[in-house]
Amino acid sequence: MNIVVCIKQVPDSTHIRVHPVTNTIMRQGVPAVINPYDLFAIEEALRIRDAHGGKVTVITMGPPPAAVALRKALAYGCDEAVLITDKIFSGADTLATSYVLASAISMLGKEQPVDLVFTGKQTIDGDTAQVGPGIAKRLDLELLTYVAKIVAVDQAAGKIQVERRAEGGVQLLETRLPALITMLEGSNEMRFGTAPDVFRAARAEIRTWDRNSAGIEDIKKVGLKGSPTIVSRVFGPTPRDEKAEQIAFDPAAPEVATAALLEKILADSPKVAKELARHQAGEHAGARHE
């Protein structure tokens, strides 16, 4: 299996602060980490490699410091890493980013056909979940989003079976390879790379591709120029103006607090109260029928 994992270096959200005036994210001095959702993609790729052989190549588009994220991925056990970096890539939205990544993946495919591409479900800084599908569309890969579990990989038949978390339940899906999978959080637990992996990661030469090595044909499609997205305004959610209220809880008489809480909720939401009353009436009616 030749597997490619697309990752992104993002500011560590636990350290992020929002500028009080401009409402933009203040990235200065904020440590960078691998987008947490991408870790599930890396681990799943490693598991498939461990079970079926092959290699995992991790790629990212970003400024040169993003090499740190790639090195970290190598320390987890990924085999190869490619940093796709070029000044003209900066300011890219999801359309431009997926164009560059798709182009780089097809260049990797020329070295050896790619069977599977993994991404995280979305990034924690952009939150769009568009880059994965964008790559799949451009490369004509089968697309499986919000995958919670890889059920089976049949390399000979070129098929993969996954569980996909969907509204209202879990879908069991089968598709043919090559495919692109966006992994859901919590689907696995990232391994602790071996000591030799850590040594290898520290010493590895990371391949660095500019627009030419990445096979970019149309430079109007990359960076700011290739990004039709316009951020017209950034704003924080308005805090709710109603005040929180505390209901005293006496462990000796929990029913008092429960009743008080229920009364509050029902008073605040007449719709729920009505629904509940109807439900209760129905239940009683049902009981009488028996």
Partner 1 sequence: MKQNANPPIEKFDVIVVGAGPAGNAAAYTLAKAGKKVLQLERGEYPGSKNVQGAILYADALEKLIPDFRDTAPLERHIVEQRMWLMENASHLGTHFRSDQYNQQPGNRYTIIRARFDKWFSDQVQKAGALVLCEMTVSELLRDETGRVIGVNVDRANGNIYADAVILADGVNSLVASRAGLREDIKPANMALAVKEMIFLPKETIDARFNIQGQEGVVIEMMGSITEGMLGTAFLYTNKDSIAVGIGCMLADMKAQKTTPAELLEKLKRHPSIAPLIAGGETREYAAHLIPEGGFDALPQLYGDGWLLVGDSAGFVNAVHREGSNLAMISGQLAAETLLELAAAGLPASAANLARYKARLDDSIVIKDLKKYRKLPDMLHKQPQFIGDYPGLINQAAFNFFSVDGRDKQTKEKEIITAFRERRSLFGLLGDAFRLWRATR
Residue 101 CA: distances (Å) to CA of 7, 25, 224: 10, 25, 15
Site for partner 1 contains 199 (CB under 8 A): yes
d(CA 185, CA 187): 5
Query: x/- contact string, 7-46, with partner 1 (CB under 8 A)?
Result: ------------------------x---------------
CB of 24 to partner 1, least distance (A): 19
Contact stretch for partner 1 (CB under 8 A) within 102-110, 159-167, 191-199, 210-218: 191-199
Residues numbered 203 to 222 that lie near partner 1 (CB under 8 A) are 203
> Tokens representing 74?
């190598």
Residues numbered 44 to 73 that lie near partner 1 (CB under 8 A) are 49-50, 53-54
CB atoms within 10 A of CB 68: 17
Q: Of 135 and 206, which has the nearer Cβ to partner 1?
A: 206
Helix (H, G, I), strand (E, B) or coil at 179: strand
Site for partner 1 contains 77 (CB under 8 A): yes
Site for partner 1 contains 289 (CB under 8 A): no
Query: Of residues 151, 170, 202, 256, which one binds partner 1 by CB under 8 A?
Result: 202
Query: Of residues 107, 173, 190, 198, which one binds partner 1 by CB under 8 A?
Result: 198
Query: Of residues 75, 108, 136, 183, which one binds partner 1 by CB under 8 A?
Result: 75
Query: Of residues 47, 149, 165, 200, which one binds partner 1 by CB under 8 A?
Result: 200
d(CA 258, CA 3): 54
Q: For residues 44 and 150, is the Cβ–Cβ distance under 8 A?
A: yes
Strand order in the sheet with 116-120: 169-176, 159-166, 142-154, 179-183, 116-120, 2-6, 55-61, 80-84, 207-209
Query: Of residues 25, 30, 47, 79, which one binds partner 1 by CB under 8 A?
Result: 79
Contact stretch for partner 1 (CB under 8 A) within 88-96, 105-113, 135-143, 194-202: 194-202
Range list of β-strands (E), the chain: 2-6, 9-11, 17-18, 25-26, 32-34, 55-61, 80-84, 116-120, 142-154, 159-166, 169-176, 179-183, 207-209
Contact stretch for partner 1 (CB under 8 A) within 34-42, 85-93, 189-197, 256-264: 189-197
Q: For residues 74 and 202, is the Cβ–Cβ distance under 8 A?
A: no
Binding residue count for partner 1, defined by CB under 8 A = 19
CB of 216 to partner 1, least distance (A): 30
Interface with partner 1 (CB under 8 A): 31, 49-50, 53-54, 75, 77, 79, 192-200, 202-203
